[in-house]
Structure 1
Amino acid sequence: MPKATRRKFPVTLTGRHDGSSSTPRASRTVIRKFHTLLKQQKSVQGDALANVNREIEELGGLEAYQRMSCIGQSSDRGGGSEKVLIGWLKQMGWAGLVAKENEKERHRLLEVGAVRPDNYGDCASWIDVMAIDLHSRHPSILEQDFLLMDPGQHREAWDIISLSLVLNFVPDGEDRGRMLVQAHSMLRLGGLCFLALPLPCVNNSRYITMEHIRELMDAIGFHQLEERWRPGGKMAYWLYQKKTPQEGCHGERFSKKKVLRQGNRNNFHILVT
């Protein structure tokens, strides 16, 4: 099974240190630096590439980056997003077994970017979870790159896919779009995609707005069911249901970056080609 190795954090966080003293501002600074270095990795060679790799290692490498992800899921930084998804599933009447081929089965949920193995432990009677991450820190989490999963093997195989605090850790806009398109392919018709992002990724981006992300998801083939965020908040949550996309609906509109807002903004964007 293909694997991928990426990620990072300050070299001072080594050994058993869990990075819990990291402030939100410090974490965001390191994340931005790491994303910049990842982009450079794709465009340089030789000594320049060696320097980029050295900088990544000096930031702490993969293990420290994973610790940062854990910190990012703490309750004071928008964590616990599974509670939002579970609440929506219960409201929709999904808190039970589903009839499939004359049998009753649990809903199959693919949790992408999992850093804890038991986020859905209380729902084990009606949710069957496969948790994956680029760098597993627990034997119950499969070490797997979502983008390298076999599209044929997983086509329409899942009832729910969770992309919570995932897209914002992907440094490339095209890969973010690929993740959303692949999630659509891997969901059964009527299946659900849960998306959670830091609110500034949308509300303070020069390339993304709430209306834009709704239209982009609709073009991919997702109908928005739920949306939750508040002005000044830290997180935004969405729940989408898979529908059949219109042929060629992506077009040029979502394949290139277009400035939608001026001013001091971030560069978060999603491209669908």
Structure 2
Amino acid sequence: MNFDDFHKWVYRELGINLASYKPTQLNRRIDSLMSRIGVKSLEEYTKLIKTNYEERQRFLDFITINVTEFFRNPELFNELEGLLKEKVNKEKRPLKIWSAACSIGCEPYTLAMILKEINPSYKHKILATDIDSTILAKAKAGVYTNVEMKNVKKNIMDKYFTKQETKYLISPEIKSLVTFKKHDLILDRYESDFDLIVCRNVVIYFKNEVKAEIFKNFSKALRPGGLLFVGATESIYNYKEYDFSKASTFIYRKV
């Protein structure tokens, strides 16, 4: 079995389209995971994923890149907060927001806390999606460790978290603003009329044509004047092609 065969098997059996990822990077990651668990061939690895739930889950977590924390790149979230404050004050209504590829929920909950600080009287609607059901279950639970909490200021921590031994539990008030749903950025339909879409550190792993399609779909899903916030390594150099203008370094506005 070669990597092409393995990618087809993953798509058929697990519903994840690895053909959309950059192949060299992806295959290096799979090789690294296999050697870490002592598997010698793709045939052997296929059998293991098929029969061992834990290894299958480890593979899915590894491939779908679930590195996350609250207020990741705090200076960029400060810029976003300024733009959101402007938008809320100008439009005087709750916002509709999408946190795409949300992983364990740090990002959508960060957005909920920012919006609560801007204007606590509005009940904003935050949709948070990911391809991985297990990760979404963790996000819904809203239980975190010191690793995810390192950028959270003390006043925000005291206000929106309860500490239980070494864990931090997000408050029901913040939880109530976020709806979690399974969604594949490549295969599934996008909702529309968003005021903000946040998708960070994900499209960097996709091939250019797939990336272009995702940005086109994001643009269609935003209201005029809506914002797209991408990761700190994901500048969109041809942003005008997707009807965007630059609102900030990694934040784009739908024209």
Give the TM-score taking structure 1 as reference length. Answer: 0.51
Aligned partners of 1:113 and 1:166 also within 8 Å? yes
Question: What is the aligned-residue identity percentage?
Answer: 13
How much has 1:143 moved relative to structure 2?
Answer: 1.2
Tell me whether 1:182 sits opposite 2:195 in the alignment.
no
Equivalent residue in structure 2 for 1:163, among 193, 199, 216: 199
For residues 175-232 of structure 1, give each alpha carbon's deviation from its aligned partner in whole angstroms, at most 9, with x where no partner exists: 11111000000000010001115x4xx7xxxxxxx6xx42x111221111211xxxxx
My pick for the range that moved more, 85-94 or 158-167, is 85-94
Which residue number in structure 2 is paired with residue 110 of structure 1?
98
Change (3 A) 1:32 1:98: same
Alpha-carbon RMSD across the aligned residues, in angstroms, is 4.0
- 5+ residue gaps, structure 2, are 1-13, 19-23, 32-41, 141-179
Change (3 A) 1:129 1:135: same
Tell me whether 1:122 sits opposite 2:113 in the alignment.
yes
Change (3 A) 1:82 1:134: farther
Aligned partners of 2:197 and 2:227 also within 8 Å? yes
Alignment partners' CA distance in 1, 2:188 and 2:225: 21
Q: Tell me, what secondary structure is at the counterpart of 1:94?
A: helix
Tell me whether 1:220 sits opposite 2:242 in the alignment.
yes
Q: Tell me, what secondary structure is at the counterpart of 2:231?
A: strand
For residues 132-167 of structure 1, give each alpha carbon's deviation from its aligned partner in whole angstroms, at most 9, with x where no partner exists: 00103234331111234435xx23x10001110110
How much has 1:107 moved relative to structure 2?
Answer: 1.7
Q: Tell me, what secondary structure is at the counterpart of 2:104?
A: coil
Change (3 A) 1:34 1:57: farther
Counterparts of residues 138-217 of structure 1 (less than 5 Å): 138-139=136-137, 140=140, 141-151=180-190, 154-155=191-192, 157-170=193-206, 172-197=207-232, 199=233, 213-214=236-237, 216-217=238-239
Give the TM-score taking structure 2 as reference length. Answer: 0.54
How much has 1:122 moved relative to structure 2?
Answer: 1.4
Alignment partners' CA distance in 2, 1:110 and 1:146: 12
Alignment partners' CA distance in 1, 2:125 and 2:183: 18
Which residue number in structure 1 is paired with residue 80 of structure 2?
89
Alignment partners' CA distance in 2, 1:120 and 1:56: 38
Which residue number in structure 1 is paired with residue 154 of structure 2?
none
2:126 alignment partner AA: V
Tell me whether 1:33 sits opposite 2:24 in the alignment.
no
Alignment partners' CA distance in 1, 2:68 and 2:17: 16
How much has 1:70 moved relative to structure 2?
Answer: 6.3
- 5+ residue gaps, structure 1, are 9-29, 38-49, 203-209, 228-237, 244-273
For residues 31-80 of structure 1, give each alpha carbon's deviation from its aligned partner in whole angstroms, at most 9, with x where no partner exists: 5326789xxxxxxxxxxxx859829949x545444257666325xxxx74
Alignment partners' CA distance in 1, 2:47 and 2:221: 36
- Counting helix residues as a fraction of each chain, which structure ranks higher? 2
Corresponding pairs, count: 174
For residues 102-126 of structure 1, give each alpha carbon's deviation from its aligned partner in whole angstroms, at most 9, with x where no partner exists: xx43221101111122233413535
How much has 1:239 moved relative to structure 2?
Answer: 0.4
